[in-house]
Amino acid sequence: MRTDLFYRELRILLLPSAGEAASYEAKEILTSVLRLSDAEAAMIPFSGKEISHEVQDLAKNLARRRNTHEPLEYILGYAWFYGLCFDVSADCLIPQSDTEILCEKVISNLKKGSRFADICTGSGCIALAALTQTENTTAIGYDISEGALAIAKRNAEKFGLTERFTAMHADVFSPDFLADAGEFDIIASNPPYIQTDVIETLSPEVQKEPHIALDGGEDGLRFYRRLLAVCPNHIKKGGLLLMEIGYDQKEALSALCTIHGFPFAIYKDFGGNDRVCAVFL
């Protein structure tokens, strides 16, 4: 079958799960299975090249997985973030464009030779993207999930950053968390911040992401309380604690920072939603 005709068939097959994104997802699946360049991928809807039965079967099987609401990024094994293609798996959250504003804040405040930490690093997307944009900086990525840390290490290798990035297993709520870490210029975190009883109301795709990386406790603030209690002791004077927050958590984070007596600012993401809390130390 010709590529353009099969693309249309695949798009229809994906409609139950992808909806308006079916065209995009059909193109992504074909780009992956055919190993196409960006220029070749752009021509998929117009290409008269023949696709083998084996490739058709593979693409259809991936589409059927998608129709079980498995996220496309897990199916393909990668996700784009800050212009970089990160390996991902069901062990880590899928990087989202909303988080890029947090990455922007990290990058804009890192000086040459700075040392920073990324708590709840997941795929390593925040730390590694920041390292690619800064000079002679180093980072430690902390996570409780060994599976996520394996992905972060793989991404560090992929981007040639193994000398500048250390993936470290740690429990944020352990009494000795950061005890031997020394001081950082910046600590960044995209912690779990969804209220426990809200998770079951989220899309089927989000519910297939690791709940340990979503669940912020009864009020969604469990990790913020811990980060505000521990991290300031490990940030140099003049440094920053940068935390991603939920779009509706501005007032709650403002109250927590005020209780601790920390000066802070809340920044919006590119969609106009409150997204980053910056604490000035």
Q: How confident is the model at residue 163 (pLDDT cuts 50, 70, 90)?
A: very high
Architecture field, domain 83-280: 3-Layer(aba) Sandwich (3.40)
Q: How confident is the model at residue 7 (pLDDT cuts 50, 70, 90)?
A: very high
Tens-digit pLDDT profile for residues 171-202: 999 999 999 999 999 999 999 999 999 999 99
Tens-digit pLDDT profile for residues 237-268: 999 999 999 999 999 999 999 999 999 999 99
Tens-digit pLDDT profile for residues 99-109: 999 999 999 99
Q: How confident is the model at residue 158 (pLDDT cuts 50, 70, 90)?
A: very high
pLDDT at 93: 97
Per-domain residue ranges of the chain:
3-68, 83-280
Closest CA to 12 of 26, 27, 1, 31: 26
**Average pLDDT taken over every residue of the chain:** 96
